[in-house]
Amino acid sequence: MANRKVLITGASGLLGRAVYQAFQSDSSWQTLGQAYSRAKGGLLKVDLTQPEDVHKMVLDTMVCIVVFRHHGLYCSVWTPWFVLFMLFCFSHTLL
């Protein structure tokens, strides 16, 4: 039974799909995936360029961690609270 929840962004792409499948193979994680243009097969369709959509996704999923894909080059792991903080900063031009 999964007691931890992870959200993988870009889960329809090459790197994101591999990360998504790796988490799915570990039964201790409940794995959620996000995509936009190719959101199929249970992936959440969310436009990451829209701060209010990202905010809603993070709050609705109640995940432990979020794994972000950056231009297909590498992944970083953020807590949901850090994601919400970054959205706040960008929406208030603090960064």
Going along the chain from its start, the domains and CATH numbers come out as: 4-91 (3.40.50.720)
Confidence label for 93 from pLDDT (cuts 50, 70 and 90): low
Burial class (CB in 10 A: 0-12, 13-18, 19+), 57: buried
Q: Cα–Cα distance between 17 and 35 in angstroms, integer?
A: 10
Average pLDDT over residues 18-23: 90
Q: Around Cβ 2, how many Cβ atoms within 10 Å?
A: 12
pLDDT in tens, 24-75: 999 988 999 999 888 888 899 998 888 888 888 888 888 887 776 655 555 5
- Residue 9 confidence (pLDDT) above 70: yes
**Lowest mean per-residue pLDDT among 41-45, 57-61, 81-85, 90-94:** 90-94
